[in-house]
Amino acid sequence: MSQPTQPSQPAGQPAPSTAQPAAQPATATPDFDAIKRRQQATWASGDFAVIGVTLQIVGENLAESADIRAGERVIDIAAGNGNATLAAARRFAQVVSTDYVPALLEKGRLRAAAEGLAVEFREADAEALPFADGSFDAALSTFGVMFAPNHARTAGEMLRVVREGGRIAFANWTPEGFLGQLFKTIGKYVPPPAGLQSPLLWGKEDHVRSLFGVHAGDARFERRIFNFRYESPAHMLQVFRDFYGPTHMAFRNLDQQGQRALEQDVLALFEGANTAGPGALVIPAEYLEVVVNKGAASLH
């Protein structure tokens, strides 16, 4: 999971009290280059792989949903530490794993080497992939491309590098689910850059359809659940505070009073979402799994 933006700030601002409509400020144009530099610093902080490896089942399920087959050329975009990468390679696909955070690619490289899997690792920006048109049979991404700041450009690059009849499959957290609530909680303390689209929009079917246009006509959408499992709410908070880039940076950028307030809000969220009772922690987190068939000449 890479290329994250800071979460969306919750809605619910009070309406103007006068009869005249309030003047709307001009929407700021995001500085995407600056945002990407900030993202790279965020994901290079902490150690996302500690959390990323727990999400491996999402990559396995995605590879099955995309029907990844032996010999196919597959790209994992914004691969993070390589969950979808490994899932495709285990199915004997020819995999190129890409991310623009070198430290995460190195984690994926070590995992692939430990299993004896032949994978090509390339540093690459999801919004400007260094591959020719139609280079791949399939593109995968688990909680990765959703964080690229320019949604339309990212979707366009996914479509461009996949051949006609190929598949594009990705998993994205939903706004209504647990991660959506966590991002909103953090967003109260660390607002996102002005004018930036929320990454959680990738967890909404209508937004994905708007991004992929005619190619989304026969797309498959399925809401699925990943269960976070930790010893306790306090344990999960410590792991996310130490290793999950966005949470790690949020705490680092707050003063002591802000850190205490954020800690209390996050703990309350974890405790309220825990379905395991006092002896452990299990939090169901909803995500949207999408499989897009590019063009009319689908393989299936």
In this prediction, residue 34 carries a pLDDT of 80
Residue 1 reports pLDDT greater than 80: no
Question: In CATH terms, is domain 37-173+193-227+286-293 a member of 3.30.413.10?
Answer: no
**Least confident among 163-177, 219-233, 283-297:** 283-297
This prediction has a pTM of: 0.86
**Least confident among 96-105, 161-170, 189-198, 201-210:** 189-198
By DSSP bridging, strand 136-142 and strand 73-76 are parallel
Most confidently predicted of 102-106, 217-221, 233-237 = 233-237
Cα-to-chain-centroid distance, residue 156: 17
In this prediction, residue 10 carries a pLDDT of 35
Residue 297: how many other CB atoms lie within 10 Å: 10
The ranges assigned to domains in the chain are 37-173+193-227+286-293
Instruction: Please state the rounded mean pLDDT for residues 61-90.
Output: 98
Q: What is 64-127 written as a DSSP string?
A: HHTT--TT-EEEETT-TTTHHHHHHHTTT-EEEEEES-HHHHHHHHHHHHHHT--EEEEE-BTT
In this prediction, residue 182 carries a pLDDT of 96
Largest CA distance in the chain: 68
- Locate 51 and state its tokens: 């959390």
- Locate 214 and state its tokens: 């005619």
